[in-house]
Homo-oligomer: A and B are copies of this chain.
Amino acid sequence: MTNHILQKIDAHIEQNRAYWQGQLARLCAQPSVSAQNWGIDECAQLVATMLREQGYTAEVLPSDGYPVVVGEGGAGEKTLLFYLHYDVQPPDPLDLWESDPFTLTERDGVLYARGVSDDKGHIICRLAALAAVKEAMGELPCRVKFIIEGEEEIGSPNMPAFVEQHQELLAADACIWEFGGVDYDGRPRQALGMRGICYVELSVQSLSRDAHSGLGGSIFPNAAWRLTWALSTLKDQYERILIPGFYENVLPPSPRDLELLSRLPEEVDELKEMYGVQEFLLGLEGGLPLQRTAVFEPTCTICGLTAGYQGVGSKTVLPARASAKVDFRLVPNQTPQEVLSKLRAHLDGLGFQDVQIQFLGGGRPAKVDPDDPFVQIANETAVDVYGRDPIIEPIIGGSGPNYPFIHTLGLPLVSAGVGYPGSNVHAPNENMTIENFLQGTKHTARIIERFGR
């Protein structure tokens, strides 16, 4: 019987592909650039309308930032939550797009538009999967809920508080995350955790205006030197972060984590070629040591530096102001708040009271038990769709608002979806292949069907 249902699900997804492509075109046509507050409210309303058209209740709720769309439908003892986001990255640089970023365009089996993968393609994928399951089974086998936010591309600053405040509304038994898909080789990926982040701007203002370097070089405090010295105390050349207590809450990977890492495909050559890496840090060459370091170590990354004259040639200026963007990636059980306070204490202790810290965003690290039954469902159904065992990543290097879902709501999360490494998310010509859309939707539908049993 299950086989029969799965056949009906797959047939429905394939037969309705043009319809969902039209819905995706409709959603992509509405700009929703959170970085610029461009079309946000309109897109939230459109998403609510589209949920209602599919038979779900939907509300646009306020948050301390942009509105959050919540909705639900179906019935049953168990509840499955879908976390998604309706905001997109800015389309710039526009001149690199081969077709209009807000007009869904099909070329050679690939659909192009801003958000077509991240994350409007996933919104449509979930709706298409649910419609197929409902059609094949007569009704949804479980209750489903949606939380579709509008600030994911700017770091989801209000998600933890929103989830905290709406725990009953969002109560569920499991959650399908906003992304998923395949690797370079077409293998499905299962990402079970994300590092946290603490993003700060460090700045120094040493004078009220720039001075001539011949005048002040010997006697005026130089903001660029103060910043350089302060930064150099944060991490040494062996990549050891020198802030006292920085590592005290770091949990090492479990034996199970290490086992999963050891099975990850080696992408050393791909990384070296794509980024022109001559040598990895710390002499790492590949294998488990590289995999472990890449995701289970916290980081301190200078993302940007700015001070004084930056043009062609020379200008003899002593900069009044200097600043750096610094991104700490955190692993369980570190928190952004502890990093902020330890960083401040560290700088003060070394006499860098003149270095200002501006907190630009953060989130806690979180990961799901790889042996959770819901994770098993996601993995087994992936084999059924893709014909291959998924790559299981116990944690990935990037960050996202998974902490409140895992820890506040207590949910296992899995990834499933339409992405692939060539999606160009956050870049011009963002795209999704129709093949990946069909596979990601079939996978999502299978998770729903199995979860509902």
Contact surface of A with B, Cβ cutoff 8 Å: 35, 154-155, 195, 197, 199, 201, 207-209, 211-222, 224-225, 227-229, 231-232, 235, 237, 239, 274-281, 284, 290, 293-295, 297, 299, 301-310, 313-320, 322, 324-325, 327, 329, 351, 360-361, 396-399
Contact = CB atoms under 8 A, between A and B. Distances in A.
A217 to B, nearest CB: 4
A221 B284 CA distance: 12
Contacts of A225: 235, 301-302
A71 to B, nearest CB: 30
Contacts of A397: 212, 214-218
A96 to B, nearest CB: 14
A63 to B, nearest CB: 18
A396 B215 CA distance: 8
Contact of A276 (B209, B237, B301, B398): B209
Name, among A224, A231, A301, A360, the residue most crowded by chain B CB atoms within 10 Å (CB to CB): A301
A208 B276 contact: yes
Given A232-B232, A316-B327, A325-B315, A221 B281 contact: yes
Contact of A310 (B217, B304, B316, B398): B304
A396 B217 CA distance: 12
Given A217-B329, A229-B232, A290-B219, A322 B303 contact: no
Given A212-B398, A316-B327, A319-B303, A221 B279 contact: yes
Given A225-B301, A316-B399, 20 more contacts: A195-B214, A209-B274, A209-B275, A209-B276, A211-B275, A213-B301, A213-B329, A216-B275, A217-B299, A219-B290, A224-B304, A301-B318, A302-B307, A302-B322, A303-B317, A304-B317, A305-B310, A314-B325, A314-B361, A316-B327
Given A218-B281, A276-B207, A305 B322 contact: yes
A199 B304 contact: no
Contacts of A208: 275-276
A220 B305 CA distance: 18
Given A228-B228, A306-B306, A309-B325, A314 B155 contact: yes
A348 to B, nearest CB: 15
* 4 pairs of A and B residues whose beta carbons are closest in the complex: A208-B276, A214-B398, A232-B232, A217-B299
**Interface SS majority for chain A:** mixed
A286 to B, nearest CB: 10
Nearest to A398: B214
B329 A315 contact: no
Contact of A214 (B220, B305, B316, B329): B329
A281 B220 CA distance: 6
Contacts of A279: 221
A308 B309 contact: no
Name, among A277, A279, A314, the residue most crowded by chain B CB atoms within 10 Å (CB to CB): A314
Name, among A35, A232, A275, A399, the residue most crowded by chain B CB atoms within 10 Å (CB to CB): A275
Nearest to A296: B218
A242 to B, nearest CB: 12
Nearest to A300: B217
Name, among A284, A305, A308, A316, the residue most crowded by chain B CB atoms within 10 Å (CB to CB): A305
A372 to B, nearest CB: 24
A218 B239 CA distance: 8
A219 B307 contact: no
A178 to B, nearest CB: 15
B220 A314 contact: no
Nearest to A317: B303
Nearest to A299: B217
A324 B35 CA distance: 30
B218 A299 contact: yes
A197 to B, nearest CB: 7
Contacts of A360: 313-314
A305 B225 CA distance: 10
